[in-house]
Amino acid sequence: MTVTATLTRNSRAEWSRLWSVRSSRLFAAATAAGVLGITALAASQSAASAPAGGSPWQLAGMIGLPGLFGVLVLVTVAATADHATGNIIPTLQWTPRRTVLFAVRAAVLTTTATLLGIGFLVASSTTIWLFAPQLTYFSRSAAEKVGSAALVFAATALLAIGLGLAIRNTAGALVCVFALVLILPLFLQILPFEWVTRLIEVLPGSAALFFLLGEGPGDTTMTAAGSTMILLSWAIAALIAGGWRLLRSDADR
């Protein structure tokens, strides 16, 4: 069997494993409903004051933050499910080449997270525009926001996958992901130390906030290029750790 055929077969299996579980479908639907509900509520209250010619995509990026964490929970649970349920042994019997399992799991989960993130952003922007038609739906900011959302969802999904494979525990991986992406960037800024500001600037959550909200947390001075490097660096480091654990450690430890 060729490499392409092997990857295709295992990618289909990974896709089926993800979406054949009812909890995955329900959780994705609940996250979508929550994001659209928040969007509709915010749009209905601010529609009258929305400036003519403004962009609905900026507000959609701000509202999309809950969607990010919903997607990260879905990805983290999917990445750690085999170890949590003890199904890692039959999974490796089906896919004995761990490099293939690592590649397809990362690819399928990252693609899923990115598509969900873009879908949430487009749906939120459309909802806002329907409430406030004076806004400009098609604009340069639309393409920029879609690209930023794709980067954020893809990079943070890779971070969650790497941490999940390295920690092999759903609760522990979720704590680490939420700490790096949400808790530390928002709560460290209450400390009045300059070194804390420097620390916040290199956290993946700060880079994600920069792209979604248009600015980093607190008094940080962040740029698009720097934020991109931060997201990619964390994603690559986590994938190296997770891949090393998957390839070198016993499956049931």
Residue 177 lies in a domain: yes
Q: How many domains does the chain have?
A: 1
Q: For the segment 125-158, what is each residue's pLDDT rounded down to a tens digit?
A: 999 998 888 888 888 878 889 999 999 999 999 9
Inside any domain, residue 253: no
Three-point CA angle 167, 97, 177, nearest 5°: 20
Question: In whole angstroms, what is the distance from residue 217 CA to residue 211 CA?
Answer: 11
Range of the domain at 168: 3-248
What tens digit of pLDDT does each residue of 50-109 get?
Answer: 777 778 888 888 777 889 989 999 999 999 998 888 888 888 888 888 999 999 999 999
CA max distance for the chain: 61
| Within a domain: 217 | yes
Instruction: Let me know if residue 156 belongs to a domain.
Output: yes
The tens digit of pLDDT for each residue in 174-227 reads 999 999 998 898 888 888 788 888 899 999 999 999 998 888 787 678 899 999
Report if pTM > 0.85: yes
Distance CA 199, CA 205 (A): 11
